[in-house]
Amino acid sequence: MSDQSRKINEEGHSHGEPGKRLEKRIPPILTAAQLRKKKEKRIMILMIALAAVMVIAAVAVVLVNRWVKKPTIPTPPGPGQSQGVEQSPSPDATPEPTLGFEAVEPKVGGERKSEDIFTVLIFGSDVASGLTDTMMVATYDVTNQRATVMSLPRDTLINSSAKPGIDAKKLNAVYNVYGKGDSGVEALKTEVSELVGFVPDFYVRIDWELVGEMVDAIGGVWFDNPYHMEYYDPAQDLEIYQEQGYRQMMGRDAMMIVRWRHNNPGVPIKPGSTVTSVGDLERLNVQHAFLKAVLKQTLQIQNLFRIGQLIDLFNSRVESDLDVEEMLWFAQSAVFGGLQVDDVEFCTMPNALGSYGVAGQSRSFVYPLQNELLTLINEKLNPYVEQVTIRQLDLMSPAGDGSLRSSTGRLAEPSLGYPPVADTPEPAESGPLESGEPSESDPVTSGEPSGGGPGPDGTAQPDQPGQPADPDPVETIPGWLLPQNNASDPGGDTAGMDWGYTTD
């Protein structure tokens, strides 16, 4: 074939589409030098990327190390030293009655369960009333990366003489009664120590606006809202509307969730229901679930790059004896230490509901369940090796006759040790007593033992002579109040116990 014919034949084949497609699919054959050069280019790109990551990480570490500081745990008061502010005298200015010995032992202290374990009192106060609607005791074990947060119901009854009246003896009134500020904080820490057996290392008072602003700062939170929330109150400039269900929530949604108490009349909390509100304890459960969702999002490592914004939030919305640098040390320890949301347990102080009559009206309150509370404290909250016992606590509870009592055997306001006086109508005139009805001179008998209740000075009194001996005697400590079964309330904890005074 001539050169001209070969050229025409090659041009004809070059116009065929299949030939072109096959030609494109064939990878170019590279020489060894070209392959080495391509590999070096890929390695260089990878090294540049790694270097960029390392630079960013180094900057983050430098910034974090510059802005963090490990907290120094304050030395707790020793035996005989003050645990906080002194209780003010009762209204009649007479000395507070005692049992003649130190019934309440010093709070636990000494060796800690792990190298870095810290306790914090967290509370938020209402701007209008000054009452602390939210109070929590948190224990964070940095060594083992575990944390427990126990909520204290706001209506928890305390043994206080700071101000007369049953309403002033609720835990949420302490901060306000003692004038807020440092005095209010110290008083609240002291009262909380009577409930948990140790003085919290630090405190954090938050403005609840922090929750909303923090949620915005971390880019929102996914949360499964358990209730339909709808409440409007123009007087408080309060508007809450949240649909039930799972969705992403921003700061404004967060504030509605944590402030919600109940719906407007006629607005059910769930479809097909007539219920329009939940109790305080269920409200705490909703808050716990939401805070857990916030914590899960906050623990993402990318939030360390928002450290400047978080510092501004803490400076404007938080009051604490912890520096911002110390708070950020906790955050760094949680993120780099691998703390997961499942490692944080939210719970509520074991409790029951009680009431006390005042001027013909019933005042409700919450009181601790002693046995369950002690177990929770020692297993989850107590940072010390020494175990908390009932002697480190001052727990209030109702007696079977409607009076109030303390596990210490003394009442800061002795009048609460008497059964409330009920208004009774004047008896109508009647004829002679019917057969079988006792006369005024007849002795009144009952299955209840006499005595054993608080006396005029607020201390428990010994049982009256003639009472049957205890069929199952218990070894007692002279002068100490020991629990005895109360048949009128066999199913309770502290509610089902009578504190019998012993003189042996």
Q: What is the pLDDT of residues 169-226, one digit of tens each?
A: 999 999 999 988 999 999 999 999 999 999 999 999 988 788 888 899 888 999 999 9
Model pLDDT, residue 427 = 55
First to last CA, the chain: 133
Furthest C-alpha separation in the chain: 152
Non-local CB neighbours of 211 within 8 Å, separated by 6+ positions: 251, 254, 255, 258, 294
C-alpha closest to that of 396 among 153, 107, 182: 153
User: Measured between alpha carbons, how far is 190 from 177 in angstroms, rounded to an integer?
Assistant: 14
Give CA separation, 29 vs 35, 38, 265, 331, 336, in Å.
10, 13, 80, 55, 49
Write out the two tokens for 72.
């120094």
Q: What share of the chain is helix, strand, coil (3-state, %, to 5)?
A: 35, 20, 45
Residue type for 336, please? Answer: F
Work out whether strand 344-348 and strand 146-151 pair parallel, antiparallel, or are unpaired. Answer: parallel
402: left (phi over 0), alpha (psi -120 to 50) or beta: left
Chain centroid to CA 233: how far? 27
Both tokens of residue 330?
């906790």
Mean pLDDT of the chain: 74
- 3-state per-residue secondary structure call for 400-441: CCCCEEECCCCCCCHHHHCCCCCCCCCCCCCCCCCCCCCCCC
Distance CA 47, CA 225 (A): 46
Among 443, 479, 79, 228, CA closest to 499: 479
Class of domain 117-397: alpha beta
Residue range 314-359, pLDDT digits in tens: 888 889 999 888 988 998 888 888 888 899 999 999 999 999 887 7
Residue 482: CB atoms within 10 A of its CB come to 16
- Round to whole Å and give the CA distance between 319 and 139: 19
* Residue from 293, 240, 237 nearest 262 by CA: 240
Question: What residue segments make up the domains of the chain, in order of their start?
Answer: 117-397
Query: What's the pTM value of the predicted model, to 2 decimals?
Result: 0.66
CB 384 within 8 A of CB 201: no
**Helix or strand (DSSP H, E) at 52:** helix 32-67
Task: List C-alpha distances in Å: 128 to 201, 209, 495.
Answer: 28, 14, 34
Rounded percentage of the chain residues whose pLDDT exceeds 70: 65
The angle subtended at Cα 470 by Cα 465 and Cα 476, nearest 5°, is 95
Where does residue 12 rank: exposed (0-12), middle (13-18), buried (19+ CB within 10 A)?
A: exposed
CB 191 within 8 A of CB 388: no
Opening angle at CA 225, ends 295 and 251, nearest 5: 55
Q: Which two tokens stand for residue 290?
A: 């939401």
Q: Exposed, middle or buried, 357 (CB in 10 Å: 0-12/13-18/19+)?
A: middle
Q: What are phi and psi of 358, to 5 degrees?
A: -135, 115
Q: Which residues contact 26 (CB under 8 A, 6 or more apart)?
A: none
pLDDT band at 452 (very low <50, low <70, confident <90, very high): very low
pLDDT, tens only, 98-143 = 333 345 678 999 999 999 999 999 998 776 666 888 899 999 999 9
As given in the structure block, the two tokens for residue 248 are 């992403």
Q: Convert the pLDDT of each residue in 140-185 to its tens digit.
A: 999 999 999 999 999 999 998 888 878 889 999 999 999 889 999 9
Among positive and negative, which fits the CA dihedral 454, 456, 459, 464?
A: negative
Comparing 53-62, 65-74, 135-144, 275-284, the range with the smallest average pLDDT is: 53-62
Place of tokens 């997961």: 340
